[in-house]
Chains A and B, each alone.
Chain A
């Protein structure tokens, strides 16, 4: 019996985007641009990842004057380990996929090299 993939392609793309700079805080719009996901898809994924303790979130401490504070995200230590394993596991499938195109037609991302 084949094992069910742990993450959907969309979730993997979010993990991959966060994985590129694991220590950096990223905001939602940047992640959306990088993954090609719409806000209605991206945020539920971030919520699920945060619920599982794979992503941590915080509010920007020094917002740009005249702008609201932004919500920032990055991988936790657990998230980093999980992303490493999940991306490594998904690598063969991603390699087969047409380069630069995500399964849902969004802008694809290059799979990071897994350390």
Chain B
């Protein structure tokens, strides 16, 4: 056997190991059969068919595309967030640590989740993952810009006095340098929040979590509405004094009232809808548990997406306002601010970015409470899961059970259990 044949045989064996276990026989079969094909072009064409089959079964195109997309986005975000040489050592170290650990989590946690809970098995789950990844990378970049601005000490004049007032506990910074910067404690809290978001989102979108695609859709849509309304109320988060009065939320503003109502009602409604769409044919006890789980997931997704949306938009606006005159004009339209007043507002807004950490903690907790409440409401008021007769098929206007996931190269899930969750209509 020539070295070329040995290399080909090794490559074939390696390729077979890429294929999911349930399909491995087929890949081995096509390689074994290649020995029966006349040598030359015919055998080459046969092997090419084998490569095609393996590429399809391993979903190689999708995996490669995902990897390239993630690597490009991560590289761009890291380039934007990486501290510049002018910053102080402590500032640089904190920001570097933030970038490195965030990227490591983004790359490593999906592998861990895949091993424990399986990969995502529907389009909604994949889109939710893509959106969450994009949001985390965007926040990482925006946060680095605002951190840099907060740490940059003006060279002198009234701006330096404004800076000193805003950083009264910061000691005696050297004018014209970038000092201070994010604290390690604060960075660790933000990294813990990021890791929690990632872990929960990856778990909810994994196959064995059995969260229905419809639940993810309902939760994500409600969350987007919630996030957009929250952003419209106050585009600069905690620094509402830094925005124009028409954006400045006051307690009597109808938009503010709507935002508060949405904060609690959106996860409730999402939980109720997800619960109503959950259908278990025979067992009322199991139906109730399944609805509760779908409701909890919907509430969590709703307020998680809402928090991420408002955080991305808010931190993004804050970071961009430091660079874009147009955006400053939009935020302060009708006002004639001096350069110093503008600097004060920018400083105020940049320093208040930390407020989004509070949103990112509080929103999901509210979602966690309101989602199951919504599904409980659906359980109490919705149609009986068996529709009045055991085994009766779902009729018009009633939810339909989700079909088994298509083979499509996926390993059959051995623990499908009794839960029948639903697709979005």
Contact = CB atoms under 8 A, between A and B. Distances in A.
Nearest to B38: A29
Given A38-B45, A38-B49, A39-B46, A68 B30 contact: no
B36 interface: yes
Contacts, number: 62
A27 B37 CA distance: 12
Given A27-B36, A29-B33, A70-B36, A40 B25 contact: no
A33 to B, nearest CB: 9
B150 to A, nearest CB: 57
Contact of A41 (B28, B29, B37, B49): B49
Contacts of A44: 53, 56
Interface residues of B, number: 22
A47 B35 contact: no
Contacts of B407: 47-48, 51
A47 B49 contact: no
B32 interface: yes
Contacts of B37: 29
Contacts of A71: 25-26, 28-29, 32-33
B36 A47 contact: no
Contacts of B28: 71
B52 interface: yes
Interface string B7-47: 00000000000000001011011111101110000000111
B29 A28 contact: yes
A39 B30 contact: yes
Contact of B32 (A40, A41, A46, A69): A69
A90 interface: no
Q: Among the interface residues A29, A32, A70, which one has the most CB atoms of the partner chain B within 10 A?
A: A29
B49 A39 contact: yes
B35 A68 contact: yes
B30 A43 contact: yes
Classify the secondary structure of B's interface with A: helix
B55 to A, nearest CB: 9
A67 interface: yes
Q: Among the interface residues A41, A46, A48, A68, which one has the most CB atoms of the partner chain B within 10 A?
A: A68
Contacts of B36: 27, 29, 67, 70
B52 to A, nearest CB: 4
Given A38-B45, A40-B49, A47 B23 contact: yes
Contact of A43 (B29, B35, B45, B47): B29
Given A40-B48, A51-B407, A57 B25 contact: yes
B351 interface: no
Contacts of B33: 27-29, 39, 70-71
Interface string A27-63: 1110010000011111110111001000001010000
B30 to A, nearest CB: 5
B364 interface: no
B50 interface: yes
Given A41-B49, A43-B49, A68 B32 contact: yes
Q: Among the interface residues A41, A43, A57, A69, which one has the most CB atoms of the partner chain B within 10 A?
A: A43
Contacts of B50: 39-40, 43
Nearest to A51: B407
A104 to B, nearest CB: 14
A47 B30 contact: no
A93 to B, nearest CB: 27
Contacts of B35: 67-68
Interface in B322-345: none
A39 B53 contact: yes
Q: Sorted from nearest, which 3 A-B pairs have the closest CB atoms? A: A39-B49, A40-B49, A71-B29
Given A27-B36, A46-B26, 13 more contacts: A38-B49, A39-B33, A39-B45, A39-B47, A39-B53, A40-B48, A40-B49, A41-B49, A43-B29, A43-B50, A43-B53, A70-B32, A71-B32
17 contacts: A27-B33, A27-B36, A29-B36, A38-B46, A39-B30, A39-B47, A39-B48, A39-B50, A40-B49, A41-B49, A43-B30, A43-B49, A43-B50, A57-B25, A59-B25, A68-B32, A71-B33
Interface of A: 27-29, 32, 38-44, 46-48, 51, 57, 59, 67-71
